[in-house]
Amino acid sequence: MAIFGYLLLVVALIVSVFTVIAYLLGEHQKNRGLISTGRIGAIAAFALTTLSFGVLAVALLTHHFEIAYVAEHTNLALPVSYLVSALWAGNEGSLFFWCWVLAFCSGLVVLQARKGERELVNYASMVLSILMTFFLLLLIVVVNPFKTQVAPADGAGLNPLLQNPAMIIHPPLLLAGYAIFAVPFAFGIAALITRRLDDLWLNKARSWAILSWLALGLGNLIGAWWAYVELGWGGYWAWDPVENAGLMPWLVATAFLHSMIMQKRRGMFRVWTMSLAILTFWLTIFGTFLTRSNLLKSVHTFGTTGIEPYFGTLLFLIVASGIWLIATRSHELENKNEIENIISRDSSFLLNNLLLVLSTLVIFLGTMFPAFARWFGQPDNSVGKEFFNVVNTPIFIAIVLLAGLCVLLGWRKVNLKDFNRRMLPPLIFSVLLVVILFIAGFRAWYALLAFLFCFFVVFATIWQWFSDLSRRKANGEEETPVPSRSKFWASKNRYGAYTVHIAIALISIGIIGSSLFDTDQTAVLKPGESTQIKGYNLTYNNMDITQPTKDSMLVVVNIGVTKNGASLGQLHPQQTYYTTQEQPVSEVAIRTNPAEDLYIILSAWDESQTVNLHILVNPLVMWIWIGSGILLLGGLICFYPQPLNSLQMTTNPAQKTIEPFAKNAANSPENPRQQTAGKR
């Protein structure tokens, strides 16, 4: 089985190399036969990689311990769900999954090619095949997932910290987000090579960019939830280097998506858009490299893996080729329009992108500080999370505020009287909520200001949403308070963006509340004793000690909870001790509601059943997870293909794509011409 899986990888590598050559010669010589061969090669490489990946999956499920990777990450007692998640639990498997997603994307790009875009698709497919060659070479030469050994009677099993449902979702989402952004990068490079720098490459890259952005965003949020419920330290984001490596490409991808809108709508930010596509992909490769090197200390890395020189070379080539191609085509990337007014949606998009890139730069410098210090002969000390919080907080708050102002601003030039009229109701609602928070006991001015901005984003977005619908109803386009299915899909990108903006605001509310108003204390209790925190009364009732498996011992503490005299039931913080682990695995107990989380950690215990508890009250954490669900919804709305029947068809073919927008465009701030029509 191991030999078969390895040989499939070798053949896939040969096919990928041949595919690159076929595309290169075929396009240079305009040889249709070679080009067709290249397309077949891309699909064949996907098929071969899929078969090989399937062999590894079967080996994990059927306990082929003669394969070292299987023995290192599974055992006979591991449930099926975690046998599957072992596919990406180790360095070899996670790189293999990265490569497989890349192969899938490469094959799909070829299959989706249409007439009139073949040249661009061919070069994009060639770039993807080059990347496939790189990853297949790594899998064959450096980190062979099919390396064999003398089969032990049982495997080492999956690290207990990884035995969480999030393990099934979090790593593959992040890895897929990394790999999928190779497609927008490939189309950007293909556009530079072919000098087809119109909007075609953006149209081809858009859905892939949204999918990658969504996977990275959800992957980070699920990882935060995993840390919160599993690791037992009371938080969800520690600014760990690997956490930062997942956040940075998401931030730049967000800037890229906004920049795409500006280029398509106003012919602006063309160099900026191309640069962001390249930078985002560079950061995905950097994140993949950081997790697999000893460059920085992190609990999430695989340590030294021997791939550092390979990834270092790839990172250099991406930067060098990107800079050279953009520099040699700079005159063809000139903007068709310029920003006419600083108070406009155009300028808000530019400022938003600058802030996103600035935040990424700050995170990158803070993350790499230990490496920079070491290179200059200084002590290898990392910066604390206080640095990231202090520097990034004002940047993030400004980004959130812009998300609210953006939906109210028009394109090009703004009628300030009309803008103030639209801004006033959301601002009033936001101020009222802040006053309520002040009365409720929230006194920190900086937190109240941040809450004000978040509330403003929510109310401004909802206000603009219903203003759009009211205007359409007044024009006879809508008969109900919600848009019809056809009108919804005709403007789905707008509604999806509205939903995402609300989600970001809700997530920000949860982060602000839990970061600035949390309360924690420790308590040493014997059975029958109690402690109080923020109105909660916690009574330690008893302890249960069991042995669920021959290799583990489970300690569960039963805590009775009351608040204001009313019983809230029991919470059960616990620790599991494994014979293969030096440290116990904590399972925190959480009682959650929209206002706050009561969070209890069993820190220590002794034979007399005395326990040491770490107790926290974290306000508003639930809104992070609610916002995550809304983010998923908004991203899917933007990503979902527009149904053909959502467009109102007319007898005039030229009007087929115009009709759904025509009536609303005349009076909407979405129409860039409307803002200046009366002044010309």
- Eight-class DSSP state of 525: E
Tell the residue number behind the tokens 């999806």, with chain if given.
496
- Eight-class DSSP state of 225: H
Mean pLDDT of 80-88: 93
List the single range of 75-84, 269-278, 634-643 with lowest mean pLDDT. 634-643
Give domain limits for the chain. 1-163, 393-516+623-679, 519-619
423-463 pLDDT per residue, tens: 899 999 999 999 998 888 778 888 899 999 999 999 999 98
The alpha helices in 517-621, defined as continuous H runs, are none
Helix, strand, or coil (residue 671): coil
Q: Is the pLDDT of residue 663 over 70?
A: no
> What is the pLDDT confidence band of residue 588, given thresholds at 50, 70 and 90?
very high
Distant-in-sequence, close-in-space partners of 171: CB < 8 Å, separation ≥ 6: 85, 88, 89, 94, 219
Rounded to whole angstroms, the maximal C-alpha distance in the chain is: 85
Q: What is the C-alpha to C-alpha distance for residues 172 and 168, in angstroms, rounded to an integer?
A: 7
Contact indicator for 59, 2 with CB cutoff of 8 Å:
yes
CA 90 to chain centre: 21
17-39 pLDDT per residue, tens: 999 999 999 998 889 999 999 99
Long-range contacts formed by 193-196: CB under 8 A, 24+ apart: 193/123, 193/325, 194/119, 194/120, 194/123, 195/329, 195/332, 196/119, 196/120
List the single range of 260-269, 299-308, 506-515, 552-561 with lowest mean pLDDT. 299-308
Q: What is the C-alpha to C-alpha distance for residues 163 and 549, in angstroms, rounded to an integer?
A: 15
> What is the pLDDT confidence band of residue 666, given thresholds at 50, 70 and 90?
very low
Q: What is the C-alpha to C-alpha distance for residues 572 and 289, in angstroms, rounded to an integer?
A: 39
217-243 pLDDT per residue, tens: 999 999 999 989 887 778 899 898 889
519-619 adopts what CATH topology? Tick-borne Encephalitis virus Glycoprotein; domain 1 (2.60.98)
> What is the pLDDT confidence band of residue 113, given thresholds at 50, 70 and 90?
confident
Q: What is the C-alpha to C-alpha distance for residues 169 and 179, in angstroms, rounded to an integer?
A: 16
363-413 pLDDT per residue, tens: 999 999 888 888 887 777 778 888 999 899 999 999 999 988 888 877 777
Identity of the amino acid at 395: I
Identity of the amino acid at 53: F
Q: In 3D, which of 155, 261, 627, 620 has the Cα closest to residue 433?
A: 620
Contact indicator for 301, 290 with CB cutoff of 8 Å:
yes
319-347 pLDDT per residue, tens: 999 999 999 998 888 877 777 777 788 88
Tell the residue number behind the tokens 């499939």, with chain if given.
8
Q: Is the pLDDT of residue 643 over 70?
A: no
Length of the chain: 680
Name the average pLDDT for the chain.
86
452-508 pLDDT per residue, tens: 999 999 999 998 888 777 776 666 655 555 566 666 666 788 888 889 999 999 999
Mean pLDDT of 80-99: 93
- HSE-CB at 72 with a 13 A cutoff on CA atoms is 15
Q: Is the pLDDT of residue 188 over 60?
A: yes
Q: Is the pLDDT of residue 667 over 70?
A: no
93-106 pLDDT per residue, tens: 999 999 999 999 99
How much of the chain is in helix, strand and coil states, percent to nearest 5? 65, 10, 25
Q: What confidence score (pLDDT) does residue 658 get?
A: 34
Q: What is the C-alpha to C-alpha distance for residues 44 and 280, in angstroms, rounded to an integer?
A: 28
Mean pLDDT of 649-672: 39
Q: Is the pLDDT of residue 651 over 50?
A: no
Helices 308-328 & 270-291 angle (0-180, nearest 10): 180
Q: What is the C-alpha to C-alpha distance for residues 362 and 542, in angstroms, rounded to an integer?
A: 48
Q: Is the pLDDT of residue 84 over 70?
A: yes
Q: What is the C-alpha to C-alpha distance for residues 449 and 430, in angstroms, rounded to an integer?
A: 10
The share of the chain scoring above pLDDT 90, in percent, equals 57
Q: What confidence score (pLDDT) does residue 549 get?
A: 77
